């Protein structure tokens, strides 16, 4: 079966880049990305390709090549569903904020709305692809809705979780370690659907990296991969605290450990704590699923990854307060970086939000500079925590356009995102314009201790 028309519901951090790359690599397939968020679609269609709503290195070039040729962004969800042979669901699946499973389970209301919309609109057979990260066995619920509320057409449900990381999305999509496709491979129709999706990716991904499994393995593998990755970060962060007490250096430990080929070097960088929209949400979801099956030891095991991460964020903020003679009240603290990692404008669950909130509770005056994050986003992130009034957040937090403006007259500077440009700053100038003693806290192990201490900074870096 040859796919001619793809529709993707959800034009976010996954739907946008993923579909742009599919469209670029498969010029004979029409790809329409739809979203209910009109502003987002407008930005994807902005004449100036630099204004697309997601900042990802290399993405503007891909969009430029395919947009208007075989890549389209639209708010007409019904029309795109109607036309498509294959529909990707790439909507958000945040942690539930109400009711049963509040604070743990994935909220599947957006997924269900998509299923009901597909069922209402579809007049011919469709392959429905779960691109969103979902609890294991969600495909069953999707099929139930589609089969019972649909127009009697045949649906095949595939699971095709996305493994891209933000900041490197285009490269991850162009050269994936593997593409995972879960389907009903024991039936002829199921196998045909899996083959159709394999053929799409085979345009550019070597066949040996196209991995097919049953649907449940595919759904669960995505949660497992994120849990393992986050666990590595929490493991090295746990060691960072021990390093600080013992004179060991976490970078040296991480290098020594990572050179063991059984362990591997990646994802062993100690930090102020992992952020991003996925790790915490997906582990909480895993914990919830485990508990719902009565697997309490399994649940506790994974929950510890989150507990450690929360501790790391808190302990970094507490270190700032302790070092500044146990009070930051009325003191200006400059935060360099707000995004959850470099090369993205995404701030979801960024450690910076929690560090700022902690310092604000200690009555600090916060000044933030991030090269890609918009001012409204920074306020929105703080408001979302509901710790203090919107007015107070605006009165106590200032967002500026440059690092020198942020650090001038500050009591302390904290590096919270590993943006390359922070390495290149004129730290001599920053030191000169700060209050003394000038405290510098490196939450990313980005800066070299020797040169900073040479300038005169009181320097603290995570894990040493
Ligand atoms: N962000 C990542 O790096 C990443 C990586 C892999 C997997 N994932 C998973 O992919 C999914 C999407 O994540 P994201 O970061 O792209 O989210 P996102 O919030 O950036 O985008 C989701 C989009 O879906 C739209 N939407 C929601 N309901 C809709 C509906 N009924 N009809 C049309 N549009 C609708 C929203 O308006 C939003 O623009 C999540 O399940 C996430 O866990 C994310
Ligand atoms: O050694 C490391 C590696 C990462 N991090 C932090 O961990 C967080 C997550 O980073 P990363 O995994 O690179 O970015 P994400 O975009 O969140 O990607 C993760 O989450 C996605 C969503 O599910 C998956 O698709 C990806 O495979 C998975 O890496 C960030 O705050 C990083 O700063 C560290 O502190 N130390």
Predicted confidence band of residue 88 (pLDDT cuts 50, 70, 90) = very high
**Which numbered ligand comes closest to the C-alpha of 108?**
1
Ligand 1 centroid–CA 165 distance in Å is: 14
Residue owning the nearest CA to atom 28 of ligand 2: 165
Q: Tell me the per-residue pLDDT of 280-299, one tens digit each, with 9 for 90 and over.
A: 999 999 999 999 999 999 99
CB 233 less than 6 A from any atom of ligand 2? yes
Domains and CATH numbers, the chain: 5-213 (3.40.50.720), 218-464 (3.40.50.720)
Element of type H or E holding 426 = none
Give the per-residue pLDDT at 151. 87
162 as an active site residue: the answer is: yes
Give the per-residue pLDDT at 130. 97
Closest ligand 2 atom number to CA of residue 344? 16
Give the per-residue pLDDT at 150. 80
Q: Tell me the per-residue pLDDT of 415-440, one tens digit each, with 9 for 90 and over.
A: 999 999 999 999 999 999 999 999 99
Give the per-residue pLDDT at 272. 98
Q: Residue 30 above 90 pLDDT?
A: yes
CB 180 less than 6 A from any atom of ligand 1? no
Catalytic residue among 96, 222, 281, 341: 222
**Which numbered ligand comes closest to the C-alpha of 275?**
2
How large is the average pLDDT for residues 28-39? 98
Ligand 1 centroid–CA 236 distance in Å is: 29
How large is the average pLDDT for residues 226-242? 98
Q: For 82-189, where are the E strands, in sequence order?
A: 86-89, 126-130, 155-159, 179-182
Return phi, psi of residue 31, to 5°.
-120, 120
Helix, strand, coil distribution of the chain in percent, nearest 5: 45, 15, 40
Please name which of 174, 166, 167, 161 lies closest in space to residue 201, comparing C-alpha atoms.
174
Q: Residue 117 above 90 pLDDT?
A: yes
Predicted confidence band of residue 26 (pLDDT cuts 50, 70, 90) = very high
Give the per-residue pLDDT at 1. 85
Ligand 1 centroid–CA 93 distance in Å is: 7
CB 156 less than 6 A from any atom of ligand 1? no
CB 276 less than 6 A from any atom of ligand 2? yes
Average pLDDT, the chain: 97
Give the per-residue pLDDT at 268. 98
Q: Tell me the per-residue pLDDT of 56-86, one tens digit each, with 9 for 90 and over.
A: 999 999 999 999 999 999 999 999 999 999 9
**Which numbered ligand comes closest to the C-alpha of 165?**
2
Residue that wins the pLDDT comparison between 375 and 149: 375
Q: Residue 43 above 90 pLDDT?
A: yes
Complex confidence, ipTM: 0.98
C-alpha atoms less than 13 angstroms from C-alpha of 396 in its C-beta half-sphere: 24
CB 92 less than 6 A from any atom of ligand 1? yes
SS3 for 317-359 is HHHHHHHCCCCCCCCEEEEECCCCCCCCCCCCCCHHHHHHHHH
Q: Are 230 and 279 in contact (CB under 8 A)?
A: yes
% of the chain at pLDDT higher than 70: 100
Structure tokens at 328: 């930051």
Q: For 147-190, where are the E strands, in sequence order?
A: 155-159, 179-182
CB 305 less than 6 A from any atom of ligand 2? no
Give the per-residue pLDDT at 160. 98
Catalytic residue among 130, 162, 219, 365: 162
Residue indicated by tokens 């269609």 = 45
Q: Which residues pair with 67 in a beta bridge?
A: 71
The model carries a pTM of 0.96
Catalytic residue among 7, 126, 278, 303: 278
How many secondary structure helices (H) and strands (E) does the chain include?
Answer: 19, 14
Closest ligand 2 atom number to CA of residue 166? 16
Give the per-residue pLDDT at 95. 94
Q: Which residues pair with 5 in a beta bridge?
A: 30
Q: Are 11 and 132 in contact (CB under 8 A)?
A: no
222 as an active site residue: the answer is: yes
Q: Are 36 and 77 in contact (CB under 8 A)?
A: yes
Return phi, psi of residue 132, to 5°.
-60, 155
CB 53 less than 6 A from any atom of ligand 1? no
Collapsing DSSP states into helix, strand and coil, what is residue 288?
A: helix
CB 110 less than 6 A from any atom of ligand 1? yes
SS3 for 210-235 is EEEECHHHHHHHHHHHHHHHHHHHHH
């Amino acid at each position: 079966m040859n796919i001619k028309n793809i529709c993707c519901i959800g034009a976010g951090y996954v739907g946008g880049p993923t579909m742009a790359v599919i469209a670029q690599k498969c010029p004979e397939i029409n790809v329409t990305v739809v979203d209910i968020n009109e502003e987002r679609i407008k930005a994807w269609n902005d004449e100036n390709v630099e204004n697309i709503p997601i900042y990802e290195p290399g993405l503007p070039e891909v969009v430029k090549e395919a947009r208007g040729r075989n890549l389209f962004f639209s708010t007409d969800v019904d029309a795109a569903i109607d036309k498509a042979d294959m529909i990707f669901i790439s909507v958000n699946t945040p942690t539930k904020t109400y009711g049963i499973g509040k604070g743990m389970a994935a909220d599947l209301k957006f997924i269900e709305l998509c299923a009901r919309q597909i069922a209402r609109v579809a007049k011919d057979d469709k392959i429905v692809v779960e691109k969103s990260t979902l609890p294991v066995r969600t495909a069953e619920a999707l099929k139930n809705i589609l089969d019972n509320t649909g127009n009697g057409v045949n649906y095949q449900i595939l699971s095709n979780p996305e493994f891209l990381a933000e900041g490197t999305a285009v490269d991850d999509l162009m050269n994936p370690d593997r593409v995972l496709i879960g389907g009903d491979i024991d039936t002829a129709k199921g196998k045909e659907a899996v083959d159709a999706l394999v053929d799409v990716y085979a345009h550019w991904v070597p066949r040996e990296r196209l991995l097919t499994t049953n649907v449940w393995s595919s759904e669960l593998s995505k949660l497992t991969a994120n849990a393992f990755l986050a666990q590595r970060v929490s493991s090295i962060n746990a060691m960072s605290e021990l390093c600080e007490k013992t004179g060991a250096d976490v970078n040296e430990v991480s290098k020594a450990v990572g050179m063991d080929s059984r362990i591997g070097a990646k994802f062993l960088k100690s930090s102020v704590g992992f952020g991003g929209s996925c790790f915490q949400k997906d582990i909480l979801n895993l914990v919830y699923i485990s508990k719902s099956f009565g697997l309490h030891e399994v649940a506790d095991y994974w929950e510890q990854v989150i507990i450690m991460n929360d501790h790391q964020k808190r302990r970094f903020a507490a270190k700032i307060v302790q070092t500044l003679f146990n009070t930051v009240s009325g003191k200006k603290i400059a935060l360099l970086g707000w995004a959850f990692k470099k090369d993205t404008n995404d701030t979801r669950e960024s450690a910076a939000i929690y560090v700022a909130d902690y310092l604000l509770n200690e009555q600090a005056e916060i000044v933030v500079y991030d090269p890609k994050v918009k001012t409204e986003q920074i306020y929105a992130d703080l408001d979302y925590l509901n710790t203090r009034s919107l007015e107070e957040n605006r009165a106590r937090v200032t967002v500026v356009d440059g690092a020198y403006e942020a650090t001038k007259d500050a009591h302390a500077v904290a590096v919270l995102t590993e943006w390359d440009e922070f390495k290149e700053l004129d730290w001599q100038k920053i030191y000169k314009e700060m209050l003394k003693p000038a405290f510098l806290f490196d939450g990313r192990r980005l800066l070299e201790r020797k040169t900073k201490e040479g300038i005169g900074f009181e320097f603290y870096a995570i894990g040493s």
